[in-house]
Structure 1
Amino acid sequence: MTWLRKPWVGPLAFVVVAFVAFSLPPYLTGDRLQSRVQSDWGPHYPILVVHVVCSSIAILASVVQIWPWFRGRFPVWHRRIGRVYVWGGVLPGGLAGLVIGWMTPFGPIAMVSTLMLATLWLTFTWLAWRAARERRFRDHRKWMIRSFALTVSIITNRIWGVVAFILLADRVPEAELPNTVGGIATWLGWTVPLLISQWWLERRPSKRRASVEQRETVPV
């Protein structure tokens, strides 16, 4: 079967589902004490809940959207899930992310990174949506790959956070450690996936791969 030629689909789906299953439940209880990010600013928690829930919708939808077999086999559902990704996931999640980024408790470095991430996430997704509406499906695919890279960057953010904590726990004063780790994780979390996605787009494709990609491109 053709979908078996994409061995990354299964592992990616597993990682995404596992991440959402671990990250989302504390924000469905209504108990702000279970939040993994605490802030003294009153509206922070409800806005954070919106961000987490909508971003979870976006990351789950994105896995289906980039699955070549699903796009080619079910183009109508690809379009429908694409609308969920944009209007139910990225748009509310990104707007909430702007507020959360501005009020982050992890310092100015993390604040700038989070604001840039949310702005680019919204921008790339809007450009992908507009390209699809104008039937520029090759441009749509490119912008969606960039949008997807930022959508899943929350996972790599957590990985970099663990690495930074392990490397810096004994070298940075305890009072400065959260902001230092947060700054490193937030920047590496989205810049590395975005650079990888850009490399992927600019690589020289083989004739066979280019032909397959052209066949898999469907309206959204």
Structure 2
Amino acid sequence: MAKHTSLPPLAADMSSPEKSHQQQTPKAQFSPKRRSLDRKWYITTIAALLTSCYVIIFISGTPRGGPAVRERVLSNPGGWSHILGGLISMTIGPFQFLITFNKQPPAIHRWLGRIYMAAVAAGGVGSLSLCVTTVAYPAGAWGFAALGAVWLATAALGWQAARRQNYARHREWMMRNFVLTYAAVMLRWQLPLLLWWGYSVVEALTITGFSCWVPNVVFMEWWIGRGEKERME
């Protein structure tokens, strides 16, 4: 198999977890570019963890304005699978990228990766079952179904690449996968904003069926493509 080297700047020096852990130099760790990426990681992680906290509140109590949604989601096994799988993957996901900064042992990366993959599998399958009972219009239901399907597919491709020890390809697929996990963050601020703008719950859910994840995918493809362009220059 030909070696694939399309990587964003964040991962340009990482062909495998082991090599990344060994090859990073102090100069690379403390460069302005590296510090900038660290800040982006912190911002992303804080937003993800805040969303995880919201999910815990959603499970343990009644979110403001959302008792009917909570009852619908948590009244069937698929809802629980989606909520718990999403909670675990959202919490673990950001820390898997610490290996990029040489701050995570490869063994921990692998074990957390297995937990993350299991969580995505549970969350993705559960999300597909919830699409049947969503109050969004059919277009929105199809949007959420597509999100669940692509979420599962990117995880499977990332897992396959790791098993083949194609770590560059693995990283790309997992970056794509995490921006789909991150759709939960986007949904949490887009939905209230649309309701504030005057859209009904049905209309807002239909819009977010696409807006919470499609822009994420477009951005990540641009990011990965930019990394390939920089490596070729």
Provide the TM-score with structure 2 as the length reference. Answer: 0.75
The structure, 1 or 2, with the larger RCO (C-alpha pairs under 8 Å, 6+ apart) is 2
User: Kindly tell me: are residues 72 and 20 of structure 1, through their superposed partners in 2, closer, same or farther at Cα, counting changes over 3 Å?
Assistant: closer
Q: Does residue 190 of the first structure (1) align with residue 213 of the second (2)?
A: yes
After superposition, give the CA deviation of every residue in 1:4-61 in whole Å (9 maximum; x if it has no partner): 622112222211111111222332469xx9563443x9x8444212211111100111
Runs of 4+ in 1 over 6 A off after TM superposition: none
Q: Does residue 9 of the first structure (1) align with residue 41 of the second (2)?
A: yes
Structure 1 residue 134, shift from structure 2 partner: 0.5
- Alpha-carbon separation, structure 1, partners of 2:173 and 2:56: 27
Q: Does residue 36 of the first structure (1) align with residue 66 of the second (2)?
A: no
- Alpha-carbon separation, structure 1, partners of 2:61 and 2:196: 31
Identity among equivalent pairs (%): 20
Residue in 2 aligned with 1:163? 193
Residue in 1 aligned with 2:105? 74
- Alpha-carbon separation, structure 1, partners of 2:126 and 2:183: 16
Q: Does residue 54 of the first structure (1) align with residue 85 of the second (2)?
A: yes
- Letter of the 2:42 counterpart: G
CA contact (8 A) 2:154 2:173 kept: yes
Listed as ranges, the matches of 1:115-134 within 5 Å are: 115-134=145-164
After superposition, give the CA deviation of every residue in 1:75-114 in whole Å (9 maximum; x if it has no partner): 1100010000001x10111111110112212221221011
User: Kindly tell me: are residues 69 and 120 of structure 1, through their superposed partners in 2, closer, same or farther at Cα, counting changes over 3 Å?
Assistant: closer
CA contact (8 A) 1:164 1:181 kept: yes
Residue in 2 aligned with 1:218? none
Q: Does residue 137 of the first structure (1) align with residue 170 of the second (2)?
A: no
Provide the TM-score with structure 1 as the length reference. Answer: 0.79
- Alpha-carbon separation, structure 2, partners of 1:147 and 1:133: 17
What's the RMSD between the two structures over aligned residues? 2.5
- Alpha-carbon separation, structure 2, partners of 1:54 and 1:70: 26
User: Kindly tell me: are residues 141 and 47 of structure 1, through their superposed partners in 2, closer, same or farther at Cα, counting changes over 3 Å?
Assistant: same
User: Kindly tell me: are residues 183 and 159 of structure 1, through their superposed partners in 2, closer, same or farther at Cα, counting changes over 3 Å?
Assistant: same
- Alpha-carbon separation, structure 1, partners of 2:39 and 2:221: 21
